[in-house]
Structure formats: C-alpha cells, structure tokens
Amino acid sequence: MTTPSLMVPPVRQSPLHKVGEWWDVRVDRYNAQPTYLKAIWAVLAMVFVYALPLLRLPIITTNQIDFGGVMFDCATFALVALGLNIVIGYAGLLDLGYIGFYATGAYVTGVLTSYHWQWPYFLSLPLAIIVTMITGVILGAPTLRVRGDYLAIVTLGFGEIIQKIANNVSWLGASAGIKNIAHPPSFGKQPNPPFEQGGAFAIPHLQWNGLVPSLDTTHETHVLVFGALDAIPYYWLILTVLILVIIGDRLVKASRVGRAWEATREDEDAAELMGVNTFKYKLMAFALGAAIGGLSGSLYASGQGGYINPQAFMLIYSMLYVAAVIVGGSGNRWGAILGGVIVAYLPDRFRQLGDYRYFIFGLALMVLSIWRPQGLLPPRRARRARAAEAQIDALEEGDVEVTDV
Amino acid sequence: MDLGALFGSYDNFLSFTIGGLVFGAIYALVALGYTMVYGVLQLINFAHSEVFMFGTFAVAWVFVALHGTSSAQWSLGRSIPILLVALVAAMCLSAVVALLLERIAYRPLIKKNAPKLIALISAIGASFALSEGMGLRDKFAQWFGLDHKLANYVSPGKARDVYSNPVSILPHHLFSIGGYSVTDVDLTIIVAAVLMMVVLDQLVLRTRFGRGIRAVAQDPESAALMGVNSTRVVQLTFLLGGLMAGAAATLYMVKIGTTKQDAGFTLGVKAFTAAVMGGIGNLRGALLGGLLLGVMESWGAAVFGDQWRDVTAFVLLVLILLVRPSGILGEALGKARA
C-alpha cells in the first residue's frame, strides 16, 4: 500500500471526519499529560473495560444474547485484528486467509486437550502458538517472494484449504467438530453444578431500571470459575491476553523490527537498498501475525462452549477480519482493536434486525469505507503526512506566508 | 488416492476432462470480470461474484415468467427460445448491477484517490449487501405488499433457502469420443464460452473502446492526457465484465439449474483463482486459467475424492505461482499488443 494516496486531502469533509478530528484532539491532549496522570487514566480505563460485562450499561448491553459472551467475542475479534494489523498495517501484506491460522490454533488445542489427548489447557496453548507460527513460516517462506497482490489469493486459498481439511479429515473430527475442549483451570473452590458454583467469591451484576442502577443478586459471577455457565471469566482471560499482546506490539513496533516493517511497506526497493533484508522482516511479520491468530484461536476453542466445528472457520470471516483492520485504521493498533470490536459487536447488538442485519452491515461497511477511506483511527504517521501535505499545498497556492520553518 | 479412477480407463479420463472443461468455461467467463477490473484499476473486484449471482436469478425469473413454476424437462433444442430471452435478461441485469457497483462502491473512492485496500473493503461490503439483499427479496417485496403477487419470484418465507427453479435441461447424446458420450449441453457451454471470450478479446484488441481500456490499464495519467475519459473507460470495463458474468450465469443455470443467494461466493473465489493463475489482467490468461482450473479440479476430485475438489484447485494455484510468480501468461492488460 502506498501512502502518497493518503496524503491527498479529500475534497469534501464527511461527518466521520469530525469524529476522527475529535479523537485526534483527545489523543494529543492525553499525550501532553505528565506520565503519572497518563498511568492513572490507563488504569481507570482498564478497570472500566474489565468491569463492563458486570456493569451492563444501558444501550450498549445486548439484551437478546448473553452480554458476557458478546464481550468475549469482541475481545477475540480485537485480538485477531491486532494480530492481522501486524501483517496488513505494519508490513503491508494483504492476508485474506487469516482464519486459517485462527483455525489451526483452535484445532491444535482441540486435538490436544480433548479429541486425542487429555492435556491441560495451558500446556496446549504454547504448542498451539508454536504450531501456527510454524504454519505461518511454511506458508510464508515460498509465497512472500510472490508479488504483493498475488499474496492475497494464495492466503485466501490457504484459508479455504484449512477449512476443507478440518471438514474432511476424520482425525480432526470432520464436520461434527470437536467437543469437550479443556477449559482453563478454575481458581478457588471447584464448581460442582448445579449446587455448588465454586470460586473464591462472587460479584453481583448491576441491573438498570431506566438510568437507575441496582444490584442484581440473582446473577453473580464467581471468581474465577471457567465453567459452562458464565462467559465473563473467559472475557477477563482474553482481555488480559489482549493487554499483554498490546504491550508486546508496542515494544516490537518501536524497535528496529518495527522500523524495518515500515520501511519495507513504504518502499520495498528503497528499504532493500538501505540494507534491510525485506524478505526476512516480511516473514517475521507473517509468522508473528500467524502466532497471534493461533493464540486467539486457541482461546476461542477453550471458550465457554468448549466446542469447535468447521463452520466456525468459514472463509467469509477472513474478510471480516480484514474489514475490521482496515475500517478501524490499518497501521494503528487502537484502530484495529476498535475495528475488531465494531465488526463483532454490531451484528450482535442489532440482533433484533433479524435477517436484515448482515445486509445493513454490508451497507455500513461500504459507507464507512467511502466516508473515511483512511479508517476510523488512522495511524499518526498518516495524519502528520496529511497535515504536511496540506501545508505545502497552502504554501504553493500562496495562501500563507512562510514565517519560520 | 485412487489414480485408477482417473487413468484406469480412457473413457473415465475423457469424461472427467470434459466435465472439467464445462465448469472451466464458466470460471473463465466470470474470471474476465476480475481480470479486466484488475487490469484497469489494480483492485480486486470482490463483489463480482454477486454480479454473477444476480445473473443466475435473472435466468430463474425468466423461466418462471415464461414457463411457470413446474420443472421444464425439456431438451436443449426446445428451450433455446426461452434460453435466449434468459441470456439477454441475465446479461442486462448483471451489467446493471456491475455498473451500479462501480458507481456506488468504487467511483467515490477512485475520485478520492483512496488506497486500494479500502476499495477492497468497500467491495466486501457491497458483496455482503448484494447477496444478503437477494436473500431478503421476499421481505423487500413485502414492504410493497407484493410478496404474494410475486410469490413465484421471491418465494416468501424461504427466500434464503435453495431456490428450486424450473430450469432443468435434459442433456442429449450428440457424439462419442472413445466411449464418452458428449452431450449437447456440455458442447454448447464450452463453445459459447470460448466464442464469447474470442469476441471480447477482439473487442479489446481492435476497437476504439478497447484501445481506451488498454491505454488506461497501461498508464492512466498519460491516457488522461491523451484525451481518454478514464471514468468512461472504467464504466465500460465494468459493463463488459457484467455482460460476461451474465452469460456465465446463463450457462451455469443450463448446467446446474438451481441458485441461491450465496451461489456466487465459491464460484467467485474460483474464478478469481483462475484469473490469477492465468496472469491477472490478461484476457487470454483468464480463459486458459479457467479451463485449466476446471480440468485440474475435476481430475483432483476423481483422484482424491470429491470433497478435495477445492483443495486441489488451490494447491495447484500455489504451485503455479511458485514456478511462474505472475501467472501462466503473466502479461498485463495494458501490455498486450497495441
């Protein structure tokens, strides 16, 4: 993807630009604060996000399906989008078969903890990550030498092949899928349903009567029980993983590797001339993205239901992942996370629309991409470039005087 | 693996090959839409599969209108009049959908000179909206209180299920190659598809419009300086792609006979694969890629079992791209002989 096209200021400002500008101002204001204040804000935001399924705030809470489960899906999508953002946003490689890595991670966990062996969950997780990473290297090594646009179709094929293999190989459960996948171990007392909920203590949920909150003691989340009844502990687990991955993502992006990705994405030949081994870094991005895909797939497999089948890994989800990254703002981790949450959340929130919801979702994707081509939260780099371009244009037109540069 | 199933007898081999060629011809026609748009705009027209899907519904509706809902168990010769009407209807509907797609989903982005990736997302959104919109046709008709009047067209209450339509054309033995009986349906599909490809190829090579398309594909800015109206050229590209998809939809319905709102997806992915295999942006590459893909997946299904049909197709694609990274013919639309 080339950025020069990003620099052209749009002729007409769409309503979404206002939202983007509003957000940019917030980010700048946040960054201008002293570090201790930033830390306090971050902790508060984190506590809020952890507590979200317990608070059950009006309007955002889904009434038709379990809100904890929806939050779990949102966090899963956010994690997937974060991983795919490394491949698409940082390294500029269009991967249309990301679901293949997700499925690989899920199936490794399924096979190890239920279908053929009885491993505990946390033993299978590292193996799922390693296997998907190796899959990524095996797929990437020959195909990353192929030109960019062709990579899209090769990865698309990979996603389709993985789904067909899962559907056809009886060793992997074929079309019936794998059930009874191990959950993470519970802390505190072991649950013994239906009489003993287990856990160390219980947190009641809130319920809202209009705008008046009250405690709902009939619905409690038992800390920390990974059972079949409550999705919220799974949400907390995946949210914790998400935060860890965000920290890792920051470190990698700011490192030599992150700069090499940026250089490769902007101009591969120039990067190569500067001594960047572009192939190595592209492969690294691909493998790292794959590993995060495997991680999220594994977490998904051991989720509340503990059940996976090939229908969960249809190729169309790959498209949704790409849409999440690009609509959110390719290259900006917060944009990707926002995109993931939107793509997961909207169809569930508007479940009452019934059959209409994917039709409207498709229209929404079109409107979003036309109104805000750079994504909801574009990376700062693109913002700076646009501002500079606008300034140069203004200078060329003679609208402003050069005072000092 | 059962090599005997394919190579055991000459007849089997021929039957799988010809069966593959029939589907390959349809892939090739759909692949044209992908390859031309890619050649001109360098973007993956992801919603082209829905253009094809609308074509299949046009054929189904023409049969309902002209024959009724009961299955017409006709021979090809007897259905030719209806088929011709269906062909025209399918080509028109597909072309209209393709043009609308260009106008609504792509042109605003092209105008803004937006990144190619965002156009892909817009296309994915359009693809969702078109296929889901077709699945909701009974609901839309209900808005106007027409769902019972149009019951045969919109199948109220079950529009999302398989639309069993009355196109079922009985193939007739024409002649034999070895022990394999070639039917009129198979032969018509292959001949019609190849004929259309040749016409399109000549159109792009020899006419003034074609020269415009090639000029824009080669260098949009220079073409604009030379007085080529690039918006018009892009429109024309979508129009031609839509017409070909409509033709492909008619041939598909002659062979398969049923359609559904998601009928386009897999076929679209295959057709795009065919386009890439032959060298994206290359019209003759699309024909070659389509036919090759059709034959290879038919052979693959014979050897490994039918459930591995799609896997064979993609493994083949990866192998070809490894040997020839820009497809078999690997020549862009613009670089064709002037």
Domain count across chain A: 1
Instruction: Determine the number of helices (DSSP H) and then strands (DSSP E) in chain B.
Output: 15, 4
- Cβ count near A356 (within 10 Å): 15
Beta-carbon neighbour count of residue B10 at 10 Å? 12
Read off the amino acid at residue A317.
Y
pLDDT tens digits along A281-314: 999 999 999 999 999 999 999 988 889 999 999 8
Grade residue B243 by pLDDT with cuts at 50, 70 and 90. Answer: very high
pTM (predicted TM-score): 0.86
Q: What is the pLDDT of residue A6?
A: 46
Instruction: Give me the domain span that covers residue A249.
Output: 4-31+64-185+226-392
User: Tens digits of per-residue pLDDT, B144-198?
Assistant: 887 777 777 777 777 776 665 656 777 777 777 766 778 888 888 999 999 999 9
Which pLDDT score, from 0 to 100, does residue A340 have?
94
A356 falls in which pLDDT band (50, 70, 90)? confident
CA B300, CA A157: separation in Å to the nearest integer?
16
Residue A1: what pLDDT?
A: 42
Residues 6+ away with beta carbon under 8 Å from B37 = B43, B45, B48, B237, B238, B241
Residue A403, domain member (yes or no): no
Is domain B3-335 given the CATH code 1.10.3470 in the classification?
yes
By C-alpha distance, the chain B residue nearest A354 is B136
**Inter-axis angle of helices B184-206 and B76-101, to 10 degrees?**
40
A vs B, Cβ pairs < 8 A, gives 149
A36, part of any domain = no
Say yes or no: B120 contacts chain A, CB-CB below 8 A.
Answer: yes
Asked if B218 and B334 touch (Cβ cutoff 8 Å), the reply is yes
Indicate the range of A196-210, B103-117, B192-206, B223-237 predicted with least confidence.
Answer: A196-210
Q: Which two tokens stand for residue A236?
A: 């907390």
Q: Is the dihedral of CA B150, B152, B157, B163 positive or negative?
A: negative
Of the candidates A110, A126, A234, the one whose C-alpha atom is nearest the C-alpha of residue A181 is A110
Of the listed ranges A69-73, A191-195, B280-284, the least confidently predicted one is A191-195
A240-251 per-position pLDDT tens digit: 999 999 999 999
What are the tens digits of pLDDT across the range B308-322?
A: 888 888 888 888 887
A365 touches chain B (CB under 8 A): yes
Of B203, B201, B223, B202, give the one whose Cα is nearest residue B212: B223
> Can you say how many angstroms the Cα of residue B57 is from the centroid of all Cα atoms in its chain?
13
- The per-residue pLDDT for B338 is 36
Question: Are B132 and A5 in contact (CB < 8 Å)?
Answer: no
In chain B, domain spans: 3-335
Q: How far apart are CA B29 and CA A280, in angstroms?
A: 39
Which candidate, B209, B206, B231, B337, places its Cα nearest to that of B282? Answer: B337
More confident: B5 or B194: B194
Mutate to test the interface with B, among A359, A360, A386 (most CBs of B within 10 A): A359
Q: What pLDDT does A156 receive?
A: 87
Write phi, then psi, for B329 (nearest 5 degrees): -90, -25
Q: Report the CATH number at residue A323.
A: 1.10.3470
Determine which of B49, B118, B324 to mutate to test the interface with A (most A C-beta atoms within 10 Å): B118
- ipTM for this model: 0.87
Rounded to whole angstroms, how far apart are CA atoms B82 and B91?
14
Residue A110 pLDDT > 80, yes or no? yes
> Per the domain annotation, does A48 fall within a domain?
no
* Side chain identity, residue B4: G
Both tokens of A37, joined, read 């204040």
Read off the pLDDT band of B335 (50, 70, 90): low
A362/B127 touch (CB, cutoff 8 Å), yes or no = yes
pLDDT for position B337: 42
Least confident of A374-378, B100-104, B197-201, B294-298: A374-378
CB contact under 8 A, A319 and B116: no
As a whole number of Å, the CA-based R_g of chain B is 20
Q: What is the pLDDT of residue B333?
A: 58
| Interval A59-85 mean pLDDT | 89
Angle at B104 between CA B100 and CA B110, to 5 degrees: 115
Mean pLDDT on B99-115? 89
Q: How many angstroms separate the most distant Cα atoms in chain B?
A: 60
Q: State the Cα–Cα distance between residues A98 and A289, nearest whole angstrom.
A: 9
State the average pLDDT over residues A309-334. Answer: 90
List the structure tokens of A387.
């501002």
